[in-house]
Amino acid sequence: MSKLGTLGHKLHRGEVSYDFVGKRKIWYGISILITITAIIGLAVNGLKEGIEFSGGAVFTTPKTSLSVSDVQNKISGDTAGHDATVQKLGTGSVRIQVSGISTDASKEAQTKIAQSLNMPKDKVDAEIVGPSWGKEISQKALEGLVIFLVLVVIYLAIAFEWRMAVAALVALLHDLTITTGVYALVGFEVTPGTVIGLLTILGYSLYDTVVVFDGLKEASKDITKQNKFTFSDVANRSLNSTLVRSINTTVVALLPVAALLFIGGGILGAGMLNDIALALFVGLTAGAYSSIFIATPIVADLKEREPQLKSLRKRVLAKRASDAAKGDDPRATEAAGDERDREVPDDEDAATATAGVVGQRSQGTAAGRPARNQPPGRGNRSRNRPSGKRR
């Protein structure tokens, strides 16, 4: 853990870094592959809508010793040809959900289910959900999602700029596609809890993205006044400085969600938790990935299309090529250049300091350039003293 903390400090200070932006084509390829898989899953399997969206009936039995498979077998012909989803609740009762069944057919199904399970009809509770109510819920959920995305784009365009707003929108759509694709592949039902989970993870993904964008906006304020770093370099440094923070917050958020999904929904059998837990787990993971590997590289691609930043990139690459031709380390050359700029006030002194030899002054005089005047006695100040040291 101490090594991880040390690495985090080094990333924040810029002592070590990973070239996320420079390798953006790899991340784009991975995202495209995952997105295509999700789209294929949606096209082949489709989304399994819960009764809140499709309409249907929910039958709840009293406490019973029958297992889920036993109930499934006994009621196989009692649901008017519709598929039934059976879940064992924590109280020992059984929840039977039948999507798409009509109101009249649900009354008949209630009677048959009670007979098949050897229970009194009045002990089997029935809850009917009409399809019109489900369509209204679907419409409201879609409207809420669209309004959320529009507000996000407007806010980011005002707070930062339109390029960052576009990058954030692409990252959010990336997260939505992957999450819904996983739902289609796994076969979990889409319920109002799923919609709540989706909106939650979009906000969380946006939080990570805004943190990186805020640091990038501050770091690139006067970027065109120098010739050491391109916009991609600055974007990569900003991303590395917040990397450990993003990972830590994501891991901390995933721990309770994983407990809901794998322990609450899997081991304890609380299937109602799966709806929101799966959306949160997949969405948080996809959101952390998109904020690091997608949003910032897209901003770098869009920004470096600007004429000023194109010119900056050419200057930086030309300087690096010149340093490489001289056999100098670019980083060392940049540091030395900063030091010379601070210590050497004019062009002649800069040339002298670069040469690093005091005798350069006399060579300049021999070449026909006038020697600089020095205060009297300055050149003889250390003569006739041991080792030439001053007192």
- List Cα–Cα distances, 385 to 185, 211, 360, 374, 381, in angstroms: 88, 62, 24, 21, 9
Residues 6+ apart with CB under 8 A from 33: none
Extract the residue ranges of the chain whose pLDDT is less than 70: 1-16, 90, 131-134, 264-273, 328-391
**CATH classification for the domain delimited by 18-49+133-308, as one of 1.20.1640.10, 2.60.40.10, 2.40.50.140, 3.40.50.1820:** 1.20.1640.10
- 57-129 maps to CATH 3.30.70: yes
Domain boundaries, the chain: 18-49+133-308, 57-129
Q: Are the C-beta atoms of 68 and 19 separated by less than 8 Å? A: no
Nearest to 369 by CA among 355, 351, 356: 351
Same fold for the domain at 18-49+133-308 and the one at 57-129? no
Find out whether 174 and 290 touch, Cβ atoms under 8 Å: yes
Can you give the pLDDT at residue 265?
58
Q: Select from 203, 111, 113, 218 the least CA-distant residue to 155.
A: 203
In this prediction, residue 207 carries a pLDDT of 82
Annotate 8-28 with b (16+ C-beta within 10 A) or e (fewer): beebeeeeeeeebbeebeebe
β strands within 48-124, DSSP E: 48-49, 56-60, 84-88, 94-99
Six-digit token string for 49: 């809508």
The pLDDT value recorded for residue 224 is 86
**CA 287: distance to chain centroid?**
4
> What pLDDT score does 55 carry?
77
β partners of residue 96: 59, 86
pTM over 0.75: no
311-363, pLDDT tens digit by residue? 998 988 888 888 888 875 544 444 444 434 434 344 444 334 333 433 444 44
